[in-house]
Amino acid sequence: MASSIAELIAERLDAMPAGERRAAQTLIANYPLIGLKTVADFSQQAGVSSPTILRFVARLGFHNYPEFQSALQDELAAQLQSPASRTLAPAASGGGKASPMLEATLDNLRETFRHVSDRQLTDIATKLSDRRGHMFLIGGRFTDPLARYMAAHMAIIRPNVFHLSGQESIWRDRLIDMGKHDVLLIFDIRRYQESLVRFAEKAHQRGVQIVLITDQWLSPIARFARHVIAGRTAMPSAWDSSASLFVIAETLIDAATRQLDTEGTRRIREMEELR
């Protein structure tokens, strides 16, 4: 599978001059719809010139703006796919060969981490390790178990970690306890959960720093997020895979544990003594 435009941006953002970086950030915040508008509309919303938009598109590897828009249209179609519309891979043959599912999973992991920089992981881990604020985690229908898994680990190495579960009204009630020193980590993949988008917007309005772990097509929550990691999820199956998201979670848990170091070790030791 070819790289998504969001993945291309993550891969090349550090090399972009200021104008192209603004174009990239505007696209991510309005993904993918702003890119489907005219060059003039895109440039006006980004606050840059039309030639800057065309240079940005060329930096991503497209020969012209229509080719760029065609790629975005393909991604939008993929976003809207349901399990019933996806093509199934042929059953694995004998002879000890790896199944298409295994090969696709390994490819997803390779491609995910090819587009995630060490700097990005370090910046997120630093925020997750900041004990001055609270950390809240939540996910969608299929990804909330990842949020619960990550919360269980983070609660061992730092205080004030909360997994948000139950009905949406319960999440909204927790907003009263959220502010600018807090972080909200959200897992959301296609077909994106509207209740999570509403919740993220309200948290953003309260100054909460949002970390989004999503798929290569980007949840609409990206427009509110301080940090976005896009994991590969597409499979030769009726179902998307969360394997890459799980490894992202474990990578962030490890990075945060290393950053907390002495404090995390002390908490782990004290917890063991209390058992």
Per-residue pLDDT tens listing for the chain (275 residues): 678 898 899 889 889 999 999 999 999 988 888 999 999 999 999 999 999 999 999 999 999 999 999 999 998 888 777 666 555 555 555 544 558 889 999 999 999 999 898 999 999 999 999 999 999 999 999 999 999 999 999 999 999 999 999 888 889 899 999 999 999 999 999 889 999 999 999 999 999 999 999 999 899 999 999 999 999 998 888 889 999 999 999 999 999 999 998 888 899 888 888 88
Task: Order the strands of the 227-231 sheet from edge to edge.
Answer: 161-163, 135-139, 183-188, 209-215, 227-231
In a domain, 233, yes or no: yes
In a domain, 135, yes or no: yes
In a domain, 188, yes or no: yes
Same domain, 140 and 16: no
In a domain, 96, yes or no: no
Same domain, 252 and 199: yes
- The reported pLDDT for the residue numbered 92 is 56
- The reported pLDDT for the residue numbered 268 is 87
Same domain, 77 and 115: no
In a domain, 159, yes or no: yes
Same domain, 74 and 115: no
- The reported pLDDT for the residue numbered 95 is 47
Same domain, 55 and 174: no
- The reported pLDDT for the residue numbered 110 is 95
The pTM of this model reads 0.82
In a domain, 86, yes or no: no
The one-letter amino acid code at 183 reads: V
The one-letter amino acid code at 156 reads: I
In a domain, 177, yes or no: yes
Same domain, 49 and 121: no
Same domain, 243 and 110: yes
Domain of 158 in residue numbering reads as: 106-274
Q: What CATH number corresponds to the domain at position 173?
A: 3.40.50.10490
Contacts 24+ apart (CB under 8 A), 196-199: 196/138, 196/139, 196/140, 196/221, 197/221, 198/168, 199/138, 199/168, 199/171, 199/172, 199/175
- The reported pLDDT for the residue numbered 26 is 94
In a domain, 34, yes or no: yes
Q: What CATH number corresponds to the domain at position 25?
A: 1.10.10.10
Number of structural domains the chain divides into: 2
Residue that terminates a domain, selected from 81, 116, 136: 81
